[in-house]
Amino acid sequence: MLADLLRAFSMLGDPRVRTVLWLGIGLSLLTLAALVLGVEGLLRWVSDTGYGWLDAAVQVLGVLGTVVVAWFLFPGVVVAVSSVFLDRVVDATEERYFPHLPTASSVPVATAVPAALRLLGITVLLNVLALPLYFVPLINLPIWLALNGYLVAREYIELVGLRRLPHSMVATLRREHRISFSLAGALVAFLLAVPVVNLIAPVVGAAFMTQRFLRHGGNITNAARELS
């Protein structure tokens, strides 16, 4: 897994990947800003209780809460949003490390966008439901990594797998290797939570999960050739 992660970072030297990287940085910053503003607006609405002392307390805690909540939501949201344009990173990674595979077909925008929106909704919903647990010391980080590791892995695996295999086969592979994929997803989620590193993490994650999926794919090469 570490070797695949190092190879993923090396993909940043590919011109095609660098183009997507700059787009990803801009999108990541916009996503983070939107999350902060959205959470801040929600907390401002909640703080309007009519009791001065309670409103003041909520507003004081709101600054910290805004940062914490946005930080927890960021990984899954940015991956879901950026998945629409990461095909080029997957292409470059496959060409470099899996040159024996036949050319993959791109996932149609009509399929990619609804899938990204669906995952975005699931990501926000599950993280909001788990939010109370995120403020409990000791258990917050393991729960967050487990949940977002699953969500990140699911998005990337579908991003890579649907280019070559039907959804049913991708789902089967994801279930068969769910522990390995979830651990890889948790690693990407961790990178997405580290300041500065999180700006390049969507691109690195795409290259990393491409390798993880193709290494666990078993007979994916033969299946891809039959379907091509």
Hey, what amino acid is at 110?
A
Q: What is the pLDDT of residue 93?
A: 93
Which pLDDT belongs to residue 174?
87
pLDDT of residue 4: 92
Output the pLDDT for position 5: 93
> Considering the chain, what is the average pLDDT of its residues?
79
Q: What gap in Å lies between CA 123 and CA 29, rounded to an integer?
A: 18
Distances in whole angstroms, Cα of residue 101 to Cα of each of 26, 63, 110, 151, 155: 32, 50, 25, 27, 22
Minimum mean pLDDT among 15-29, 101-115, 122-136: which range?
101-115
What are the backbone angles phi and psi of residue 218, rounded to the nearest 5°?
65, -110
**pLDDT confidence of residue 21:** 83
Query: What's the 3-state SS for 180-197?
Result: HHHHHHHHHHHHHHCCCH
Rg (CA), the chain: 19
What percent of the chain is modeled with pLDDT above 70? 76
Q: Which two tokens stand for residue 228?
A: 């091509």
* CA-closest candidate to residue 89, choices 144, 29, 20: 20
Winning range, highest mean pLDDT, from 70-74, 138-142, 193-197? 138-142
Two tokens at 44?
């401002």
**pLDDT (tens digit, 9 = 90+) per residue, 141-161?**
899 889 988 988 988 888 888
Ranges assigned E (strand) in the chain: none
Q: Are 160 and 210 in contact (CB under 8 A)?
A: yes
Which range among 65-74, 87-96, 136-145, 188-197 shows the weakest confidence by mean pLDDT? 65-74
Tokens of 78: 């940015």
Tell me, what's the pLDDT at 38?
75
Average pLDDT over residues 193-216: 87
Contact (Cβ atoms closer than 8 angstroms) between residue 223 and residue 104: no
Q: With b meaning 16 or more CB within 10 Å and e meaning fewer, what string describes 190-223? A: bbbbeeeebbbbbbbbbbbbbbbbbebbeebeeb
Higher per-residue pLDDT: 122 or 120: 122
* pLDDT of 203 higher than 80: yes
Asked whether residue 18 carries a pLDDT value surpassing 70, the answer given is yes
Q: In the prediction, which pLDDT does 227 show? A: 46
Q: Which residues lie closer than 8 Å to 36 by C-beta, 6 or more apart? A: 66, 67, 70
